[in-house]
Amino acid sequence: MSYYILYFLTFSVVVCGTALYLTRSRWLHLVPVPDYIYHRLPSSFAGDVEAGLMSSEFDTSANVSEGDTRAGLDDQAKRDVLKIMKRQRVDFNEARRIYMQNRFSKNNIGPDGRPRDPKFVSFS
């Protein structure tokens, strides 16, 4: 009798695991990822390139080939861009655009780069 229960539990786990694996694109972005995972980000331009933090429009490979010894991109910005890339499943350029729009809106700046302050006066 206990073999039937063991067989049933094993079969249930396999079926549920397979269903979760096949539907992971629908629910995986809802799983919270702890911040400590993003603390081990690369701290050089070469590490940034390896982590996928470059594109043809934002090319840091020249920094790598010239032997630039600086620390690379800002750690907090890298964390935020990587979170956007994982959660929304977008490429690096789109994640950078979303990140900058969020930063602009937090600082009361419109998408066109102009301040939203009603007292703002500009002369052209």
Predicted confidence at residue 19, as pLDDT, reads: 95
Percent of the residues in the chain that have a pLDDT greater than 70, as a whole number: 71
- The answer to whether 13 and 19 are in contact (CB under 8 A) is no
Helix then strand then coil, % of the chain, to nearest 5: 60, 0, 40
- The answer to whether 39 and 78 are in contact (CB under 8 A) is no
Q: What is the pLDDT of residues 6-63, one digit of tens each?
A: 999 999 999 999 999 999 888 887 888 766 655 555 566 666 666 767 777 776 666 6
Amino acid found at 112 = D
Position with higher pLDDT, 52 vs 87:
87
Sequence ranges of the domains in the chain: 30-106
pTM for the whole structure: 0.54
- Spatial separation of the C-alpha atoms in residues 82 and 53, rounded to whole Å: 8
DSSP state of 109: B
